[in-house]
Structure 1
Amino acid sequence: MSVVQSCFRRIPYLVRDIDVFRISSFRLLSSTSAKFSSHGQEKKLFTPGPLSVSLTVRQAALRDLGSRDVEFISTVKFLRSKLVQIAGVSEDDFTAVPVQGSGTFAVEAVFHTALPKPKGKALILENGAYGKRMGKICETLGIPFRLEGFAENSMVDVNKVEQILREDPSFTMVAVVHCETSSGVINPVEEVGQMVKKHLPNCVYFVDAMSSFGAVPIDLERAKVDFLVSSVNKCLQGIPGFSYAIVKTEQLLQCKGNSGSLCLDLYDQYDGLEKTGQFRFTPPTHCMLAFCQAIKEFEEEGDIVGRANRYKENRRILQEGMKKLGFEEFLGPEHKGYIITSYKFPNDPNFDFKTFYSKLNEKGLVIYPGKVLNADCFRIGTIGQLFPEDFHTLLSCIKEVCKEMNIKLPVS
C-alpha cells in the first residue's frame, strides 16, 4: 500500500479524533468559564449554599472507589462516627444516617420515616421559606399538619408553642428550622425542645440544622432532639452530594415500616448500613471521600469553636462595612446569627438588584437574592471557605459597584 493510500484510509479516524478533541476542549472551556470570573479567578460564593470549599477538599474527590470496596466501607463507617462526635452525643445513644441528595432529601426522609400513616400529625413552627417547605412536604405526602407561622424577622415564640401544645396534645412530631436562612434568624431550638417534651414526652422533636450544624452549637441532649438533619456542603464545607440525619437510635428503631418511600426510608438505610456497611443504592463515593478531607480540615481549624470564630469575624467585618455604606439589615440587633445576613434594598432610584448582582458577579463575587416575603432584600453568607480578607474585598467591590450605578453613598 502506498503512503498516499494509507493517508486516505486514515482520514475517517483523523476526523473522529479531531471531533473528540474539539468536544473535549469545548467541555473543558465551558467548565472553566463556569468556575472563573472574567478576571480569570475562581468566584467567591457569599451564599448559604452551594459554598466555596478548599482546593484540597476538591482534590480528595479525584479518586474512584467502588461502593463495595473495603476502603469505601471503612470511609462510610468513619464519617458516620465523626458526625455523631461533632454533634456532641454518644454513639451508644445516637447514630448518623447518610442520604443521597441535597438537604431537602434528608428533611423529607425524616417526615417519611418518623410519622406513621395515618396516625402521624406534625406541628411545624415556621418563620421563613424553609419552614414553609416542611409544610409543602407534608402537604405533598398527605401527612396531617399544622403550620404555625411567626414573623420572618422574629424567633419562634416558645410561649406560643406551649399554648398550642396545651390546646392540642394530638401532635406526634414538632419540627423547626434552627437557622432560617431566608432571613438569618436563629431559633431557640433548645427551649422549644424542652417545652415539647414537657407537654408531649412521646412526641418526636425534629430540628432542621441545615445551615448551622458544625458552627452554631446545639446541645442535642438538652434540646431533647430525636432527629437532626444537615448537609455536607454547609458549615462542614464538603462538596454537594449527600445529606445526613443524626438520630436517637432508640427512636429510629421504632420507625420500621413507617415510610411510604423506598429511597427515603431512614430506618431501612440505617438497617442496611448496620448489617453490611453499604448503601442500599449507589452512594456518592467522590463526595464522601471529599467529606473525609473536609472533616480533617474542620478539626484542624478547631472544630465547632474554631469554625464559629472565623464565621463570626467574617460577619463582624461585613456588618461594620455595610453599616458604613449605609445598608440596613433586615433583622434587628437582638439577632446574633453569623451564618447569613439579609440587607434591605437601598431607597435609591438607581438601585436595581439584577444589575447590582451582575456587576459583583463579573468581579467574581456571588451573593444571593432575598427570600423573605415582606421586604425587598438580598443576602450575603459568611460561611464556607471564606476569610476576613474576602469580606474586605467584597466591601470594596460593593462600593465600586454603587459608584458605577450612580448610587449615592452612604445609601439611604
Structure 2
Amino acid sequence: MTRLFIPGPTDVPAETLAAQTRPMVGHRSQTITDLIAKLQPGLQEVFNTRQRVLIVASSGSGLQEAAVRNCVAGRLLVCVGGAFAERWFDIARSNGLPADRLDVDWGQPHTPELLETALRSREYDTLAIVHNESSTGVENPVRDLAARARMVSPQLVILVDAVSSAGGVRLDMDDWGLDVVVTSSQKCFALPPGLAFAAVSDRALARARSIPHRGWYFDFVLLDHALSQHTTPATPAISLLYALEVQLAHMLSEGLERRYERHQRLATRVQAWTQERLSLFAAEGYRSKTVTAIANTRELDINNLNAYLARHGMVIANGYGPLKNHTFRIGHLGETQLDDVERLLGHIDAFLDGQP
C-alpha cells in the first residue's frame, strides 16, 4: 500500500472503505431516504451552518460550475491567485457568463483592501474565492474578505471553494456570511472520490430562482426540493453514501475542534521542517493547514524523489501547472497523523542526504 501525501485523494480508513461493500438497494427505498435524512445534521455541523447541504455525485468542480450557473445573474468577480481560482474564472467564461479577475501573485493571499477596491470599481453581484489554494499552499482570509465584501455590497452572493479545507480547517459558513461553500469527498473528509457537497444559503437559493437557465443536473432549486424530501433528483452514489455515513460519524467522534488542531499540528511540523531544509512558497501568515507548497530551491528532480519515496511506500505531489518542478507539495490532510508525517520527512531527509 502506498501512503498518499498528496493534496487528494487521501488515504481512506478501512472501515470506511468496507462500508461500500454493503448490498445494493433501490435508490428510492426507505433505506436511502432515511440515510439522506441522517447525513444532513452531520454535514451541517462540518460546515457550521443551519442551511441545507446538497449532496451530488460529482467532483468538487461540478459544484463549482453549479454555483456559477445558479448564482451569477449579473457579473462575477473571481479572486485569482492559483490554479483552482483560475478554474472559477474558466467555468464562468465557458458558460458565457460575464466575469472579471482580481489577480495576485501566486503564493500571495488576497487582502480585504484589494478586494474592496475591485468591488467599488464595477458592479458585481457574485464573488468567488478559494479558501485553500492547494496549487500554491495559500489559505485565503475568507472571513475577512467576506466581511469586507458584505460591507461594500450587502446583497453580493459569495461563493467559496473549500475543496481542500472543509472538514480539516475551521470554516463557519453562517457566521462568516458565505452563500455557497463547495467541497468534495476525497480531501479532508478522507472518502473515495465521487461525492461533492455544497452548503447553500437562502440568499443563494433566491438568486437561483431568479435565473431561468440553470441546467438540470446541478439545479440548486431542484436539488433543494429533493433534499427536503430526503432524496435526490437523479440516482445517488449509494455505496459512497454508505461510506459517508461511517466517515462522518468518525469525524464527529474525533471532534471537529480536535480535527482542526491535528491539521494545524501537521502543518506546523511540515512547515518547520521545510524552513530548515528548503523554503516555503506561500506567504507567511497565510500558509495552508492541509497542503504545504515547497519551493524547490535545491532544484531537486521531483520524479527521482518520488521514485525514492515509492520504495518506502509513499508518494508526494509535484507542483501544479506552471509551478511543476519549481515547487512540490506535501498533503497532510484527512486522517493523516503526526507519526505518518514524521516517517515521510525522515525519508525525504535521507534522500536529501544522499542515502540509498
TM class, shorter-chain normalised? Answer: over 0.9
User: Equivalent residues in 2 for 1:249-264 (5 A)?
Assistant: 249-256=202-209, 257-264=211-218
Counterparts of 1:250 and 1:137 in 2: how far apart (Å)?
21
Counterparts of 1:188 and 1:69 in 2: how far apart (Å)?
43
Among 133, 143, 147, the residue aligned to 1:190: 143
Matched, 1:53 2:6: no
SS state of the match for residue 176, structure 1? Answer: strand
Corresponding residue for 2:268? 316
The alpha carbon displacement at 1:372 in A equals 6.2
Among 55, 65, 70, the residue aligned to 1:113: 70
Corresponding residue for 2:60? 103
Corresponding residue for 1:82? 42
Among 374, 379, 382, the residue aligned to 2:329: 379
Counterparts of 2:342 and 2:294 in 1: how far apart (Å)?
17
| Structure 1: gaps spanning 5 or more residues | 1-41, 407-412
Aligned CA-pair RMSD: 1.9
Matched, 1:391 2:341: yes
Asked whether the 8 Å contact 1:112–1:258 carries over to 2, the reply is no
The alpha carbon displacement at 1:403 in A equals 4.3
> What does the per-residue CA deviation read over 1:161-219, in whole Å, with 9 as the maximum and x for residues that have no partner?
11112221x21101100111111111111121122222222221111111111222123
Counterparts of 2:317 and 2:287 in 1: how far apart (Å)?
20
Matched, 1:219 2:178: no
> What does the per-residue CA deviation read over 1:248-267, in whole Å, with 9 as the maximum and x for residues that have no partner?
13531441354442212122
User: Equivalent residues in 2 for 1:206-285 (5 A)?
Assistant: 206-256=159-209, 257-274=211-228, 276-285=229-238
Asked whether the 8 Å contact 2:294–2:328 carries over to 1, the reply is yes
> What does the per-residue CA deviation read over 1:12-65, in whole Å, with 9 as the maximum and x for residues that have no partner?
xxxxxxxxxxxxxxxxxxxxxxxxxxxxxx211111111111111111111123
Corresponding residue for 1:141? 95
Corresponding residue for 1:151? 105
Corresponding residue for 1:364? 313
Corresponding residue for 1:21? none
CA change 1:258–1:211 in 2 (3 A) is farther
Task: State TM-score, norm by structure 1.
Answer: 0.81
SS state of the match for residue 354, structure 1? Answer: helix
Counterparts of 2:62 and 2:285 in 1: how far apart (Å)?
32
> What does the per-residue CA deviation read over 1:316-338, in whole Å, with 9 as the maximum and x for residues that have no partner?
332333444x2211124323431
Corresponding residue for 1:204? 157
The alpha carbon displacement at 1:384 in A equals 1.8
Q: Counterpart of 1:308 in structure 2: which amino acid? A: Y
Counterparts of 2:45 and 2:285 in 1: how far apart (Å)?
31
| Structure 2: gaps spanning 5 or more residues | none
Among 116, 119, 123, the residue aligned to 1:162: 116
SS state of the match for residue 101, structure 2? Answer: strand
Say how many residue pairs are matched: 353
> What does the per-residue CA deviation read over 1:360-400, in whole Å, with 9 as the maximum and x for residues that have no partner?
12321111111263680000011022111111211121123
Task: State TM-score, norm by structure 2.
Answer: 0.93
Q: Counterpart of 1:278 in structure 2: which amino acid? A: T
Counterparts of 2:87 and 2:227 in 1: how far apart (Å)?
29
Counterparts of 1:368 and 1:196 in 2: how far apart (Å)?
34
After the TM superposition, list the runs of 4 or more consecutive aligned residues in structure 1 that deviate by more than 4 angstroms: 403-406
Asked whether the 8 Å contact 1:194–1:222 carries over to 2, the reply is no
Among 288, 296, 308, the residue aligned to 1:345: 296
Asked whether the 8 Å contact 1:80–1:98 carries over to 2, the reply is no
Asked whether the 8 Å contact 1:327–1:344 carries over to 2, the reply is yes
Among 79, 85, 89, the residue aligned to 1:131: 85
The alpha carbon displacement at 1:300 in A equals 1.4
> What does the per-residue CA deviation read over 1:111-153, in whole Å, with 9 as the maximum and x for residues that have no partner?
111123xxx2100011100100111101110000001111112
The alpha carbon displacement at 1:359 in A equals 1.9
Corresponding residue for 1:4? none
Counterparts of 2:213 and 2:182 in 1: how far apart (Å)?
17
Counterparts of 1:140 and 1:307 in 2: how far apart (Å)?
37
CA change 1:254–1:183 in 2 (3 A) is closer
Percentage of pairs with the same residue: 24
Asked whether the 8 Å contact 1:102–1:243 carries over to 2, the reply is yes
Counterparts of 2:147 and 2:274 in 1: how far apart (Å)?
37
Q: Counterpart of 1:183 in structure 2: which amino acid? A: T
Counterparts of 1:311 and 1:140 in 2: how far apart (Å)?
35
Counterparts of 2:204 and 2:280 in 1: how far apart (Å)?
40
Q: Counterpart of 2:193 in structure 1: which amino acid? A: P
> What does the per-residue CA deviation read over 1:59-78, in whole Å, with 9 as the maximum and x for residues that have no partner?
11111232112111111122
Q: Counterpart of 2:251 in structure 1: which amino acid? A: F
Among 345, 351, 355, the residue aligned to 1:401: 351
